[in-house]
């Protein structure tokens, strides 16, 4: 079973692309890591990230046991190496192979996407600054796709054809 991990800064389009893939490839389960980390108020420390990783891996394990599930797409912002490694190691321990991709874009595209997203509660000026500051880090990671100027379907196509 194929497990696609889509990483990248807030607002780059991880959820949009992940949902597109899930909707266009039959038998695909979609997991948004934020669902597994929905605490109010938000606390992003080692304990809560460990809990979210456990929740994500539990969902992946359940989906891989489901006969109608053929592929899993996980979208989540993983800006710490240990978080990413725990996810990949957990997937590997299940006998599954993770395919990772990092979505990035240029500053102007990120700002535009941010301003056009009227549904996400995280789209504040403060979080935009955090996301903009993370662009350089995410752009330096392996398997990075610059989505500036790309459509959702083109980005999904690039991901689906990575080996």
pLDDT string in tens for the chain (163-residue length) = 999 999 999 999 999 999 999 999 999 999 999 999 888 888 889 999 999 999 999 999 999 999 999 999 999 999 999 999 999 999 999 999 999 999 999 999 999 999 998 888 888 899 999 999 999 999 999 999 999 999 999 999 999 998 6
pTM: 0.95
- Listed by start position, the domains of the chain span 2-160
| CA atoms of 41 and 24, how far apart (whole Å) | 34
Rounded CA Rg of the chain: 15
Give the Cβ contact number of residue 126 at 10 Å: 8
Q: DSSP character for 148?
A: T
Assess if CATH 3.30.70.3290 describes domain 2-160.
Answer: no
């Amino acid at each position: 079973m194929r497990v696609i991990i889509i990483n990248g800064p807030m607002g780059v389009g991880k959820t949009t692309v992940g949902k597109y893939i899930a909707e266009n490839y039959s038998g695909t389960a979609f997991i948004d890591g934020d669902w597994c980390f929905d605490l109010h108020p938000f606390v992003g420390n080692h304990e809560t990230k460990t809990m979210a990783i456990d929740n994500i891996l539990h969902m992946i394990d359940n989906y891989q046991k489901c006969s109608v599930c053929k592929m899993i797409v996980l979208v989540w912002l993983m800006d710490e190496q240990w978080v990413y490694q725990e996810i990949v190691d957990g997937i590997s321990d299940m006998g599954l192979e993770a395919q990772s991709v990092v979505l990035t874009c240029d500053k102007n595209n990120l700002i535009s996407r941010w301003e056009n997203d009227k549904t996400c509660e995280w789209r504040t000026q403060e979080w935009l600054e955090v996301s903009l500051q993370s662009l350089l880090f995410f752009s330096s990671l392996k398997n990075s796709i610059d989505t500036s100027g790309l459509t959702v379907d083109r980005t999904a196509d690039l991901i689906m054809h990575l080996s």
